[in-house]
A and B are shown apart, each in its own frame.
Chain A
Amino acid sequence: GQNIDQPTEMTATEGAIVQINCTYQTSGFNGLFWYQQHAGEAPTFLSYNVLDGLEEKGRFSSFLSRSKGYSYLLLKELQMKDSASYLCAVVDSNYQLIWGAGTKLIIKP
């Protein structure tokens, strides 16, 4: 079967750094997405990784290791508006997105 694992919930402090991990076991791999979803809203695109390594985009960075079936999303200089759920999704061999259940990130002042 196909499986994506993320922690259910994480808590961090405003101004700090947090790393959200995602491990996957899928039939094939054609890339990995991270999406952000605020409560009651639609998911919005954050990043896409298809090659190993770190992709940086402002305060957010995403890392991929295909050999380990592992990715993480790194959020720096946390702001209250970063309180949201973060969804990891893998593109499988059929070019379908397989979604993780999401990680709810709570930012405290």
Chain B
Amino acid sequence: DVKVTQSSRYLVKRTGEKVFLECVQDMDHENMFWYRQDPGLGLRLIYFSYDVKMKEKGDIPEGYSVSREKKERFSLILESASTNQTSMYLCASSRYSDGSSYEQYFGPGTRLTVT
């Protein structure tokens, strides 16, 4: 089974802190994604990566950066956390190929609260 893990289930940080969210997948997937999920808004893509050291902006990249130094690991960084970044953060991975391989496998999520 594909396994995607995230470093924390719950995280509480103060405004202005630098926050690191880590994601690791064990299925050698090429693609990795970071989403945030807020009530009534669905999943919104922050950043994604097709390969090591490659990154692409999603729909809401402002206030975030990412790092992918190894194929299995994709990190989301909040340079200076703000209260409007309080959310559920979901990491996902997928294989790069046709058809249903676009299926994304999700980690358990990190519920981040910024006070």
Contact = CB atoms under 8 A, between A and B. Distances in A.
Interface stretch (A13-21, A41-49, A56-64, A69-77): A41-49
Chain B, interface size category, equals 10 to 19
Nearest to A8: B40
B106 to A, nearest CB: 4
B107 A48 contact: no
For the residues of A in contact with B, the DSSP-based class is loop
Contacts of A41: 108-109
B20 interface: no
A37 B59 CA distance: 22
Interface string B79-115: 0000000000010000000011011111111010000
Nearest to A91: B102
A95 B99 CA distance: 10
A97 interface: yes
Given A31-B99, A48-B103, A100 B42 contact: yes
B99 A33 contact: no
Contacts of B108: 41-42
A33 B103 contact: yes
Interface string B12-25: 00000000000000
B42 A30 contact: no
A87 interface: yes
B104 A97 contact: yes
A21 to B, nearest CB: 16
A33 B100 CA distance: 9
Nearest to B41: A101
A53 B106 CA distance: 27
A50 B103 CA distance: 12
A41 B45 CA distance: 18
Max chain B CB contacts within 10 Å: which of A42, A43, A44, A96? A42
A101 B102 contact: no
A101 B106 contact: no
Given A42-B90, A87-B43, A101-B41, A31 B102 contact: yes
B103 A45 contact: yes
Given A41-B109, A42-B109, A43-B106, A48 B43 contact: no
